[in-house]
Structure 1
Amino acid sequence: MLLYHLKLTKSDTNSFIGNWNLLMVDELKSNNFYLSVENVTFNEYEAYPILADDRFTGTWCANFQKENDIIAFVDFKTGLNFKGKLLPNKIELMILFGKHLITQIDLKKSTTDWEIGGFTTSNKSSELQLTEMESLILKDSLPSTHSVLISKKAKLIYENYFDGYNSQIPHDMRSASKSISSAIVGLAKDKKLFKNVDQSIFDFLPAKYQIIKDSLKGTIDIKSLLTMSSGLDAIDYGLNANPKSAATEDNYQRTEDWTETIINSSMINSPNTKANYGTANPYLLGVAMDSVISEPLILFMDKNLFQQLEISNYIIQTDITARPYFGGGMYLTPRDMMKFGELYLNKGKLNGKQILSEEWINDSFKNYRVLENTVDKNGYGYLWWQHNYEFNGTSINSIEARGAGGQYIFVLPELEMVVVITSGNYRNGKTQQPELILQNYILPYLVN
């Protein structure tokens, strides 16, 4: 489920008014609506609504029901309900929020290819000229690049959007928001809501999970979860991955109790010895922080991070218990992603105000160990990636928030810069394309 943050203003009648942008975009560039009906048997089916405006990240539908000629299903991401009537030549489909009808559509069998996406954005001039990069993006040689932003010393020197995106659209950060999860842990520690990162995860778990604790699992601490070093068999992909493990993200999300599934899984290493990328680690951090924060976790995040950064246009994905999901899936605008990167570049300060302790920033940016399941053997901090870029014999160190599909926040301390790139390369093997863009089409202009 998605939690939409709304900015409300008080009206003259003492009521509060705000805009809830359910589809995330400022306005639809196409009103075309499609329904993909799949895996149909006599009384079973799956149905997935698809908007021609593909800047909306899509639905996550389930609870498919059919009784005679009536079908119904729900989208867990937005909370929309769909109810349809099957007729000989069409489907009469109603879209509802709760019991309130939003619209009704008559759908007929497609006879032509669906027209999806293909939108353009008018480029604007920036202080930094990156014409080669822009040309390649527009020719689709650097496909599905949605935004590129660059700041130096907190000044925005380059900003451009592509494929119809703009500065007002929150973008799915995927796992890049793990770095935001790390910041929430840091804020809780700064406020002394827990003692230190050496505390066992079992110090934070309810009694019903304590029976799973043993001498090895009891040493899984907050630090090991921050550094992907819990030792659990929870490797999501790449080298050493075990796709049959219940603790991989694809598998634990299918179970009724994610926490039990994860901590019940096998150990493959001692904690804090070897790092392998697995989303189960930050998920457990979310469980831990929820246990020590007295107010709803989402309100703690808003008050202590997002409000401090003057971020109001955001969306947070939840886990199965409606708790903010520390494994990923937050939506921020690229400009707000930039603010977050600048917070870390500036040692936890924004506009002279210390929001996150410098100690936490320094600890977050340390290279604790390499991610052994990655080909590049990247160094890893507190849910921050590390990578070095070579250009003309100069090595540029980058600390990075990374998300599937090509969502990146590059923090470049040596250059006093932050680079944000968002993308839509979820299924074409180009999820690391932003690294290529930075190395070949941005750094040469920055270094020289």
Structure 2
Amino acid sequence: MRIKNLILIITTLFSFSAYAQDMAEYTSGWEGILENPKVFNLKVEIENLGKENAKFKISNNKKIIDYPIIAKNNKQLEIPFAENYSFKGMLSKNGKEINGFIKSGILLYHLKLTQSDNNSFLGTWNILMIDELKSLNFNLSVENGEGNKYEAYPIFGDNRFTGTWCDNFQKENNLISFIDFKTGLQFKGKLEKNEIQLSILLGDNLLTEIELKKSITDWEIGGFKNDNRNTSILKLTEMENLISKDSFPNTHSVVISKKGEIIYENYFDGYNANIPHDMKSASKSISSAIVGLAKDKSLFKNVDQSIFDFLPEKYQTYNDSLKTKIDIQSLLTMSSGIDAIDYGINANPKSSATEDNYQRTPDWIEAILKAPMIHKPNTKANYGSANPSLLGVAMDSIVSEPLEFFIDKFLFQKLEISNYIIQTDLRDKPYFGGGMYLTPKDMLKFGELYLNKGKWKSKRIISRKWVQNSFKNYRNLENVTDKNGYGYLWWHNTYNANEKNIKSIEARGNGGQYIFVIPCLQTVVVITSGNYRNGKTQQPEIIFEKHILPYL
């Protein structure tokens, strides 16, 4: 009898082990419930700074990180609090706050830690960008399972989070693991017969656990109503009705200022004033401002300098007779002449330096510089992210501090902006091609800075000359439908309202992220959206021309 029982146990274990090995059995949709709406809103604390028992702490409803600080210099902190995670910060002159960045995944989350009564420095890290989950639904799509191979993609019921970019899918026996290389979140799952026990971690430190069951109904994602009461001076009832009826789908915010005063502010689909929005390529215009700040501080001589004056030695091999003429101005005006033109299905997949191409390589800068020249620099303009990407490398080479601290100190702190995120490249440096996250009201501040010719609250931040040069129309973009004029990473467009032509200078990003600067009306308009794959990226232009301009 004992032998029979032993054989039965061994057979059962072997059967389950064999069952657990085949990911085809798990290729399905899975769903579970998160423990609370604040699980990804993390309290960050620096305790006893300058003392022997100083600590760096992260917690939600429980302690996650408790890391001893060994600081040689309390004014400049560098804290590697977990594997592949770090915090770098600088103490303010008055000793009342610490401005710094948590590096997690490909993102630099800016934190402002403020001194509390008990001498600790406190701040909040919203790792999913949103200030609180509106839905606790958590879904996992397990795809292409076969043997030990699979892919897994977490999808949150609160779709205001911009989503994960998962990779590095591993499996050992009945344990799986993968990583979101955007946010840096780690996922580890234990495969049971009818469920998956999933843990979400910072390195080896547990954030939360979820019990997942196979989905039997469609997932409920998004669909949140607007919680905000619109008390704006300007009434845009027709626009609001069209947004509510889904005639302008995925519109997330509309904010308008005139002569520095906010006259309209409204949020939709559950968005609010505290959520930094992915600006996509609209942050190219911020990249232009960083170049301007460096020029104002005489960190480089002029915009006629060759990009090869700034590039590391390893890239000098690409400095041929034509590419050496690629200068700062040609990069600012999309006129480098590099084949970075994306014509969709007609783009050259092998040699062109489109974002889709170079971001698939281990060295983005090398891939860009390898691309052939199709025009002489400063002759023809073709929109593409390769140009500002090179600018980012150039600026990083000339600033004395980490580039993100230069950006924070000389731009965002001056504009009183602290709730933001910077996307990095493979070198862990700020990516100038796009991907900053700012709140709509902070995007408005940036537009007002340029409307006011480099001043904000009467204080000079960027030189008047740089703003004037930035807003010039150097040449038209040849690879966009409307052949828009283009300045220093700023778009030009003309609208018609009440039988008048109105000129606008714009920051634009994929999905419908717009900052409209209208000098003749002393007005800035910000519209953020989520139209990434439905052909409605330029929807804000319709909203602006038909439903905002006539009322201005």
TM bucket (normalised to shorter chain) is over 0.9
Distance in structure 2 (CA, Å) of the matches to 1:392 and 1:163:
31
Is this contact kept in 1: 2:453–2:464, CA < 8 A? yes
Whether 1:391 aligns to 2:464 is no
Whether 1:109 aligns to 2:214 is yes
Per-residue displacement from partner, 1:379-425 (whole Å, max 9, x unpaired)? Answer: 00000000000123311000000000000000000110000000011
Out of 23-32 and 307-316, give the one that drifted further.
23-32
Q: How does 1:357-436 map to 2 (within 5 A)?
A: 357-436=463-542
Q: 3-state DSSP class of the match of 1:28?
A: coil
Is this contact kept in 1: 2:476–2:483, CA < 8 A? yes
Q: Which runs of 5+ in 1 are unaligned?
A: none
Is this contact kept in 1: 2:491–2:507, CA < 8 A? yes
Tell me the residue number matched to 1:162: 268
Q: How does 1:222-261 map to 2 (within 5 A)?
A: 222-237=328-343, 241-261=347-367
Distance in structure 2 (CA, Å) of the matches to 1:203 and 1:369:
25
Distance in structure 2 (CA, Å) of the matches to 1:282 and 1:240:
23
Deviation at 1:68, TM superposition (A): 1.8
Tell me the residue number matched to 1:63: 168
Tell me the residue number matched to 2:20: none
Tell me the residue number matched to 1:350: 456
Distance in structure 1 (CA, Å) of the matches to 2:143 and 2:477:
38
Distance in structure 2 (CA, Å) of the matches to 1:274 and 1:329:
26
Change (3 A) 1:166 1:427: same
Whether 1:18 aligns to 2:123 is yes
Amino acid at match of 2:348: N
Distance in structure 2 (CA, Å) of the matches to 1:147 and 1:110:
33
Q: 3-state DSSP class of the match of 1:19?
A: strand
Q: 2:158 aligns with which of 14, 36, 53?
A: 53
Distance in structure 2 (CA, Å) of the matches to 1:21 and 1:412:
33
Q: 3-state DSSP class of the match of 1:408?
A: strand
Q: 1:27 aligns with which of 102, 117, 132?
A: 132
Deviation at 1:14, TM superposition (A): 2.8
Deviation at 1:241, TM superposition (A): 4.3
Per-residue displacement from partner, 1:349-408 (whole Å, max 9, x unpaired)? Answer: 011111000000000000000110011000000000000001233110000000000000
Q: 3-state DSSP class of the match of 2:315?
A: helix
Tell me the residue number matched to 1:146: 252
Is this contact kept in 1: 2:516–2:525, CA < 8 A? yes
Amino acid at match of 1:93: L
Q: 1:181 aligns with which of 266, 287, 294?
A: 287
Tell me the residue number matched to 2:102: none
Q: 3-state DSSP class of the match of 1:6?
A: strand
Distance in structure 1 (CA, Å) of the matches to 2:537 and 2:447:
20
Is this contact kept in 1: 2:352–2:372, CA < 8 A? no
Tell me the residue number matched to 1:89: 194
Q: Which runs of 5+ in 2 are unaligned?
A: 1-105
Amino acid at match of 1:389: Y
Q: 3-state DSSP class of the match of 1:108?
A: strand
Distance in structure 1 (CA, Å) of the matches to 2:427 and 2:312:
14
Tell me the residue number matched to 2:110: 5
Per-residue displacement from partner, 1:74-97 (whole Å, max 9, x unpaired)? Answer: 111211100011122111111011
Is this contact kept in 2: 1:237–1:373, CA < 8 A? yes
Q: 3-state DSSP class of the match of 2:206?
A: strand
Tell me the residue number matched to 2:326: 220
Distance in structure 1 (CA, Å) of the matches to 2:252 and 2:263:
17
Q: 3-state DSSP class of the match of 1:269?
A: coil
Out of 414-423 and 242-251, give the one that drifted further.
242-251
Deviation at 1:437, TM superposition (A): 0.2
Q: Let me know the Cα RMSD of the aligned residues.
A: 1.2
Q: How does 1:130-145 map to 2 (within 5 A)?
A: 130-145=236-251
Asked which structure has the greater CA Rg, the reply is 2
Deviation at 1:23, TM superposition (A): 1.4
Change (3 A) 1:435 1:244: farther
Is this contact kept in 2: 1:239–1:375, CA < 8 A? no
Distance in structure 1 (CA, Å) of the matches to 2:155 and 2:350:
31
TM-score (norm 2): 0.80
Amino acid at match of 1:392: N
Deviation at 1:16, TM superposition (A): 1.3
Distance in structure 2 (CA, Å) of the matches to 1:391 and 1:284:
38
Tell me the residue number matched to 2:12: none
Q: 1:319 aligns with which of 425, 429, 432?
A: 425
Amino acid at match of 2:334: M
Q: How does 1:270-289 map to 2 (within 5 A)?
A: 270-289=376-395
Tell me the residue number matched to 1:44: 149
Change (3 A) 1:239 1:44: closer
Change (3 A) 1:239 1:411: farther
Change (3 A) 1:184 1:267: same
Q: 3-state DSSP class of the match of 2:112?
A: coil
Whether 1:290 aligns to 2:416 is no
Amino acid at match of 2:189: G
Q: 3-state DSSP class of the match of 1:421?
A: strand
Distance in structure 2 (CA, Å) of the matches to 1:415 and 1:240:
41
Q: 1:75 aligns with which of 180, 189, 202?
A: 180
Deviation at 1:240, TM superposition (A): 7.6
Say which structure is richer in strand.
2
Per-residue displacement from partner, 1:135-182 (whole Å, max 9, x unpaired)? Answer: 000000000000001100000000000000010110000000000000
Distance in structure 2 (CA, Å) of the matches to 1:328 and 1:408:
13
Per-residue displacement from partner, 1:41-73 (whole Å, max 9, x unpaired)? Answer: 222211111110001111111111111211111
Q: 3-state DSSP class of the match of 1:45?
A: strand
Distance in structure 2 (CA, Å) of the matches to 1:304 and 1:237:
37
Distance in structure 1 (CA, Å) of the matches to 2:346 and 2:312:
31
Out of 57-66 and 245-254, give the one that drifted further.
245-254
Higher relative contact order by CA 8 Å / sep ≥ 6: 1 or 2? 1
Name the % identity. Answer: 73
Distance in structure 1 (CA, Å) of the matches to 2:209 and 2:181:
20
Q: 3-state DSSP class of the match of 2:496?
A: strand
Amino acid at match of 1:79: G
Per-residue displacement from partner, 1:106-156 (whole Å, max 9, x unpaired)? Answer: 111111000000001134121111000000000000000000011000000
